[in-house]
Structure formats: structure tokens, C-alpha cells
């Protein structure tokens, strides 16, 4: 599975050959470089350099940015995108659309986007970014050139956390719980690590505990939202 650098090299080569496709799907766990690569690719196509780590969408007259509003991407936004991509480029080149969290497309919005990809405007490039590509219709996925961004190895995540100032012990535990996602690792490191650490210590001692102690501990996983959250945390620790 190619890493982010290999994907960028392949996209750069396609642009140099003038063989860029009309639609792409960048998929993979959160924090693996999908969004940054999409912004970099847009800059490559538009001959501009955009800040890849800026939370605000890059500004350019030939770049259109779609993301969820109130949790969803609706058909009105896709129709507006269709209209704008059909216009002539302001600078005589390509027009690019980046769709962030594409899995949030409503059904009718996804259908409208499918029609756009089936009959794309000249010189238009659409890039979908998604951590949950399976939530997109198969017909929509099939119209894209797909790039899978690899989960990060634990060691790389741990090094990133330590470089950001987290203690070695916390970085090691968080990277092990993150499932290859640097974003998830940071969330662990900044959030519930103490409880996760206590769970690990308890589980290590479990063979030496009495049946009553084990039953009492299990009661903490019954009923209500706090219990559900603890159960999810335990599954993550065991995973």
C-alpha cells in the first residue's frame, strides 16, 4: 500500500504528463494525509502553493470547497458546485473541487454528484476525501480513481507524539490505541489515557483477583451512557 509520499509522486507525474483524471477519491483513517494531499494537489493543478495545514479552506477563484454543514452535504451545495464547475476558468486552466468528509453526502446529493462525474465539465477535477469510503454509493466510488492512505505504524505515531512534547509512556500507550491514525492518537494522548492506563493495570492484575472483585468491576459496564463509553474504551484497550 503506497504511503503519502508515493501518492504525491504519482499525482505529480500524472500532472506532468497531462493525464490527470476527472475524479479522485482519497480514503484512509483520519490524520493520514488525505486532506493535506488534496490541498497540495489542488495547488499543483492551479499552479499555486496553499497552506496544507490551515484549518480554513484555501482561497482561489478556480477552487471550490465542499464540506458538511450541520453534519451533512446537501443537494443544493452539489448543484451549486455543478454550476460553478461548468463556468470557464478564471485563469484559463482547470477548475478544481475538493469535497471534504464526502461520506456525509446525503443520498440525493450523492446521486447529483454521480451525474456530475458521469458527464464532467471540461478541465474540471473533483477530489473526494473520506475516512469512511464504504458509506459512499458503489456507483460513485467506481467513477473515481482511488488512493488509499496507509495507517501510520505505531513507531511513527509515537515519535510524532514525543516530538510534540508528550511523555514517552503516554506516547507509547496512545499510539497503540490509535489504530494507525495520528489524529486518534493525539485525542487519546490529550483525553482518556489515564483511565485506559488504569484499565490495563487492572487487567494485568485480573488473574490474581477474587471472583467478587471481578464481578464488581464488571458492574461498571452496565447501563447508561457512561457505561457504554467505558465499554468502548475497554474494547480499544483490548484491541
pLDDT in tens, 201-233: 766 777 787 877 767 766 666 655 455 555 555
How many beta carbons lie within 10 A of that of residue 207, not counting itself? 7
Question: Which grid cell sits at 63?
Answer: 477552487
Task: Quote the CA–CA distance of 92 and 103 in Å, as a whole number.
Answer: 31
Asked if 11 and 105 sit in the same domain, the reply is yes
Question: Which grid cell sits at 70?
Answer: 450541520
Q: Which residues is 148 bridged to in the sheet? A: 27
Residue that finishes a domain, picked among 125, 148, 171: 148
What pLDDT does residue 234 have? 62
How many beta carbons lie within 10 A of that of residue 3, not counting itself? 13
Task: Quote the CA–CA distance of 16 and 66 in Å, as a whole number.
Answer: 27
**What is the span of the domain harbouring residue 34?**
4-148
Asked if 107 and 26 sit in the same domain, the reply is yes
Task: Quote the CA–CA distance of 199 and 221 in Å, as a whole number.
Answer: 12
Asked if 175 and 142 sit in the same domain, the reply is no
Strands 23-27, 145-148: pairing kind: parallel
Asked if 20 and 92 sit in the same domain, the reply is yes
Residue that finishes a domain, picked among 148, 170, 187: 148
Closest CA to 234 of 188, 203, 191: 203
Asked if 182 and 223 sit in the same domain, the reply is yes
How many beta carbons lie within 10 A of that of residue 86, not counting itself? 13
H or E segment and range at residue 96: strand 95-100
Closest CA to 181 of 103, 99, 239, 100: 239
pLDDT in tens, 175-209: 887 778 888 888 878 876 777 667 767 667 777 87
SS3 179: coil
SS3 99: strand
Task: Quote the CA–CA distance of 25 and 140 in Å, as a whole number.
Answer: 10
Residue that finishes a domain, picked among 124, 148, 172: 148
Confidence of residue 2 (pLDDT cuts 50, 70, 90): low
Asked if 163 and 121 sit in the same domain, the reply is no
pLDDT in tens, 99-129: 999 999 999 999 999 999 999 898 999 999 9
Please state the length of the chain. Answer: 239
Amino acid at each position: 500500500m503506497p504511503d503519502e509520499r508515493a501518492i504525491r509522486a504519482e499525482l505529480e507525474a500524472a500532472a506532468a504528463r497531462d493525464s490527470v483524471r476527472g475524479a479522485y477519491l482519497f480514503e484512509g483513517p483520519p490524520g493520514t494525509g488525505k486532506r493535506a494531499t488534496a490541498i497540495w494537489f489542488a495547488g499543483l493543478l492551479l499552479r499555486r502553493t496553499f497552506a496544507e495545514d490551515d484549518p480554513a479552506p484555501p482561497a482561489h477563484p478556480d477552487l471550490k470547497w465542499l464540506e458538511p454543514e450541520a453534519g451533512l452535504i446537501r443537494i443544493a451545495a452539489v448543484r451549486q458546485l455543478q454550476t460553478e464547475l461548468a463556468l470557464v476558468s478564471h485563469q484559463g486552466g482547470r477548475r478544481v473541487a475538493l469535497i471534504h468528509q464526502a461520506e456525509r453526502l446525503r443520498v440525493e446529493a450523492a446521486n447529483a454528484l454521480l451525474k456530475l462525474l458521469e458527464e464532467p465539465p471540461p478541465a474540471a477535477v473533483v477530489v473526494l476525501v473520506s475516512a469512511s469510503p464504504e458509506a459512499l454509493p458503489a456507483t460513485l466510488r467506481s467513477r473515481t480513481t482511488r488512493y488509499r492512505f496507509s495507517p501510520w505504524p505505531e513507531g511513527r505515531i509515537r515519535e510524532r507524539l514525543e516530538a510534540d512534547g508528550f511523555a514517552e509512556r503516554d506516547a507509547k500507550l496512545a499510539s497503540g490505541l490509535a489504530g494507525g491514525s495520528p489524529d486518534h492518537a493525539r485525542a487519546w494522548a490529550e483525553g482518556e489515557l489515564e483511565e485506559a492506563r488504569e484499565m490495563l493495570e487492572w487487567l494485568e492484575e485480573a488473574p490474581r483477583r477474587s471472583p467478587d472483585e471481578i464481578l464488581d468491576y464488571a458492574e461498571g459496564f452496565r447501563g447508561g451512557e457512561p457505561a457504554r463509553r467505558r465499554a468502548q474504551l475497554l474494547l480499544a484497550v483490548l484491541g
